[in-house]
Structures are given as structure tokens and as C-alpha cells.
């Protein structure tokens, strides 16, 4: 599970750094950033598949509701940030994307903690 969490976290961090540069420069989110958000979303989907396989095989013994809750909320953050980017075409769309990616990173760390318990 660690490799999938690391990949999702690194991709989210890269997107967050890119959005932070845009926010500091006062620029709105661009389509390429939303495509990169789709890549992060894909990594989260793969993480969900890995989690499902690990649960079915009995490798995960922690609280599945809490872990799935974190994963599903993390999966909803980027589409919500993309919607905000379409509605708000100012630098605040970049700020929303930064907050969403930072939140995903924190949730990934928490999922790793739950996986270790």
C-alpha cells in the first residue's frame, strides 16, 4: 500500500506546488493543471483498487469504514476544486487547488497511519 500512497502524495504535492506558483503570481488555474488533477485522481482510483484487493485478501485488519471514508473524500476534493476553478476565474481558483492538494496529502498520511494500525 505504501507505494500507491507515495505516488498519490507526490503527484498531489507536484500539482500543489504548481498551483502555488500560479496563486502567488495571481493567475487562475489552467486546463493543464486540471488534466494533472485527473492524473492525481487516477492514482487515487488505483489506490482504491489496491485497497479493495487488500481487504478481500485479508491483509488489512483496521477500520475499513474510516479508511474508505478518507479515500472517498480525497477523491471528491479535486473534482470540487475543478468546479471552483471553472466558476471562479481568478487567482482564488489556484488557492483552492493548493488547499485541495494539501488536504489530499494530509489524508494520504492519515491513511498510511490507519494502514499501519
The pLDDT of 70-98, averaged and rounded, is 94
Looking at 58-90, list the stretches that DSSP marks H as alpha helix, in order from N- to C-terminal side: 64-87
Least confident of 27-36, 40-49, 54-63, 70-79: 54-63
What pTM was estimated for this model as a whole?
Answer: 0.92
The pLDDT of 84-96, averaged and rounded, is 92
Tell me: pLDDT of 18 over 80: yes
What is the band of 59 on the pLDDT scale with cuts at 50, 70, 90?
confident
CA dist., res. 28 & res. 75, Å (int): 22
Judge contact between 39 and 12, C-beta under 8 A: no
CA dist., res. 36 & res. 50, Å (int): 21
Amino acid at each position: 500500500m505504501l507505494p500507491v500512497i507515495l505516488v498519490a502524495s507526490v503527484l498531489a504535492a507536484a500539482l500543489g506546488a504548481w498551483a502555488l506558483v500560479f496563486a502567488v503570481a495571481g493567475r487562475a488555474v489552467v486546463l493543464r493543471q486540471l488534466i494533472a488533477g485527473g492524473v492525481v485522481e487516477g492514482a487515487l482510483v488505483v489506490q482504491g483498487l489496491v485497497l479493495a484487493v487488500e481487504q478481500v485478501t485479508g491483509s488489512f485488519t483496521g477500520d475499513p469504514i474510516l479508511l474508505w471514508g478518507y479515500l472517498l473524500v480525497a477523491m471528491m476534493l479535486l473534482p470540487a476544486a475543478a468546479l471552483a476553478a471553472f466558476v471562479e476565474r481568478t487567482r482564488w481558483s489556484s488557492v483552492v487547488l493548493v488547499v485541495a492538494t494539501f488536504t489530499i496529502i494530509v489524508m494520504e498520511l492519515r491513511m498510511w497511519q490507519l494502514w499501519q494500525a
